[in-house]
């Protein structure tokens, strides 16, 4: 998208909800969102095959960073900001530490120097990391040519005040004073330019649309599983015994499948406990999921069963195709 065109689109979207504490629309690379379970293990994931369809390849790789929840949410925030700024052709976006923190952690999370340092550390690690994520062809329902992100950023800028606080544990300001200094600063305390090839991919691809108010409440493996099981690539089928519009999918919990799901516990029972705990957290936050249960043991093979309401539409979209002049709410 040419830079001149993008400037006319910047005002079409905003990170502000349409009503008090309403949902904020987020955007994410679909392949990265689906591979979240593998990324959480630093890319040490297995293949995931369900109903003879390969959903995840084992070629996801992260070099130079130990990927975690904050890395994924920061990446989600950067793509969301890229869309909110009109997907600029020059791929440069600026923000503030407060704005990014609010998007990543939500309104209710206490902010200050510690959280700002955590954000800066994550941005620097993402800048240094080399990341490979495989693509997926939804029409053919099979893996596509890999999406290789040698680096996510080509440039990153951090305001001197933030960088000093990050570099020096004792910067002479109390937590409250430091928060006031940063809070008084407007946009531009943090800026980044995405890798040109990756920015072009974002501008051309259908992106995952999601609800930030849900993402902010999910942690760790629950966040990763939510990102995977809301993907259109998962082969749900109608739940025939239900009168409701429900659909289900079952995943055999082989050791390789568990690795692909980001679960590395040593025993089948421990892996089921991890998945059941994450599943309860997913269902508590996203009420479209009705059941998320790992079962097995006592001579029976383990499997994961997920039941959810059938979505009314796909979560994939090109952000500016027929976009209205203001933010759309996400209810799924």
Whole-number pLDDT of residue 117:
80
Using alpha carbons only, give the angle 58, 59, 64 rounded to the nearest 5 degrees: 120
DSSP labels, 198-266: HHHHHHHSPEEEEEHHHHTT--HHHHHHHHHHTSTTS--EE-TT-SSSEEEEEEE--HHHHHHTT---S
Whole-number pLDDT of residue 275:
96
Check: CB of residue 96 under 8 Å from CB of residue 185: yes
pLDDT digits (tens, 9 = 90+) for 41-90: 766 678 999 999 999 998 888 888 888 999 999 999 999 999 999 999 89
Q: Tell whether 150 and 279 lie within a shared domain.
A: no
Q: Tell whether 151 and 269 lie within a shared domain.
A: no
The mean predicted confidence, pLDDT, of the chain is 82
Whole-number pLDDT of residue 294:
95
Whole-number pLDDT of residue 61:
87
pLDDT digits (tens, 9 = 90+) for 82-109: 999 999 989 999 988 888 888 998 875 5
Higher confidence at residue 183 or residue 152? 152
Q: Tell whether 117 and 260 lie within a shared domain.
A: no
Q: Pick the closest to residue 122 from 72, 49, 171, 164 (CA basis).
A: 72
Beta-carbon contacts of residue 253 (< 8 Å; ≥ 6 apart)? 268, 271, 272, 275, 294, 296, 301, 302, 303, 304
End residue of a domain, out of 218, 246, 276: 218
Q: Tell whether 66 and 123 lie within a shared domain.
A: yes
pLDDT digits (tens, 9 = 90+) for 195-246: 999 999 999 999 999 999 999 999 999 999 999 999 999 999 998 876 779 9
pLDDT digits (tens, 9 = 90+) for 113-132: 677 788 888 998 999 999 99
Q: Tell whether 164 and 67 lie within a shared domain.
A: yes
Q: Pick the closest to residue 87 from 187, 205, 190 (CA basis).
A: 205
Percentage of residues in the chain with pLDDT exceeding 70? 78
Residue 223 lies in a domain: no
* Token pair for 131: 């990341």
Full residue range of the structural domain in which residue 146 is found: 3-218
Count the domains in the chain: 2
Place of tokens 């990102």: 227
Q: What is the CA radius of gyration of the chain?
A: 20
Distance CA 85, CA 319 (A): 11
Q: Tell whether 143 and 252 lie within a shared domain.
A: no
Q: Tell whether 149 and 281 lie within a shared domain.
A: no
Distance CA 246, CA 298 (A): 29
Residue 152 lies in a domain: yes
The DSSP 8-state label assigned to residue 11 in this structure reads G
- The alpha helices in 57-194, defined as continuous H runs, are 69-84, 97-105, 113-128, 160-167, 175-183
Q: Tell whether 214 and 244 lie within a shared domain.
A: no
Whole-number pLDDT of residue 40:
85
Check: CB of residue 231 under 8 Å from CB of residue 208: yes
> Cβ–Cβ contacts within 10 Å for residue 276, how many?
15
97-101 CB contacts, 8 Å cutoff, 24+ apart? 97/159, 97/162, 97/182, 97/189, 97/190, 98/182, 98/183, 99/15, 99/187, 100/74, 100/190
Residue 229 lies in a domain: no
Distance CA 253, CA 268 (A): 8
End residue of a domain, out of 161, 190, 218: 218
Whole-number pLDDT of residue 266:
84
Q: Tell whether 260 and 300 lie within a shared domain.
A: yes
Q: Tell whether 36 and 160 lie within a shared domain.
A: yes
Q: Tell whether 55 and 118 lie within a shared domain.
A: yes
Residue 172 lies in a domain: yes
pTM: 0.84
Whole-number pLDDT of residue 11:
34
């Amino acid at each position: 998208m040419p830079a001149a065109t993008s400037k006319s689109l910047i005002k079409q979207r905003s990170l502000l909800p349409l009503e008090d504490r309403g949902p904020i629309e987020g955007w994410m690379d679909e392949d990265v969102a689906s591979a979240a379970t593998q990324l959480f293990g630093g890319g040490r994931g297995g293949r995931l095959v369900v109903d003879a369809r390969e959903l995840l390849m084992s070629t996801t790789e992260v070099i130079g960073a130990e990927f975690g929840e904050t890395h994924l949410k920061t990446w989600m925030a950067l793509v969301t900001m890229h869309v909110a700024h009109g997907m600029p052709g020059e791929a440069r976006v600026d923000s503030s530490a407060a704005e990014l923190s609010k998007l990543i952690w939500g309104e209710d999370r206490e902010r200050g120097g510690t959280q700002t340092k955590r954000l800066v550390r994550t941005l620097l690690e993402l800048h240094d990391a080399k990341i490979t994520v495989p693509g997926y062809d939804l029409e053919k329902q099979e893996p596509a040519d890999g999406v290789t992100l040698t680096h996510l950023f080509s440039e990153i800028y951090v305001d001197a005040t933030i960088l000093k606080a990050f570099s020096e544990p004792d910067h002479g300001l109390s937590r409250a004073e430091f928060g006031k200094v940063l809070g008084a600063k407007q946009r531009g305390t943090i800026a980044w330019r995405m890798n040109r090839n990756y920015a072009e991919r974002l501008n051309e691809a259908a992106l995952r649309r999601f609800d930030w108010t849900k993402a902010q409440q999910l942690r760790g493996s629950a966040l990763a599983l939510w990102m995977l099981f809301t993907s259109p690539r998962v082969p749900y089928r109608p739940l025939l015994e239900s009168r409701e519009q429900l659909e289900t999918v079952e995943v055999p919990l082989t050791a390789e499948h568990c690795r692909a799901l980001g679960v590395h516990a040593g025993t089948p029972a421990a892996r089921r406990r991890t998945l059941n705990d994450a599943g309860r957290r997913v269902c508590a936050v996203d009420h479209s999921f009705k059941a998320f249960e790992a079962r097995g043991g006592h001579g029976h093979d383990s499997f994961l069963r997920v039941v959810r309401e059938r979505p009314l539409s796909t979560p994939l979209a090109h952000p500016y195709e027929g976009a209205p002049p203001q933010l759309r709410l996400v209810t799924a």
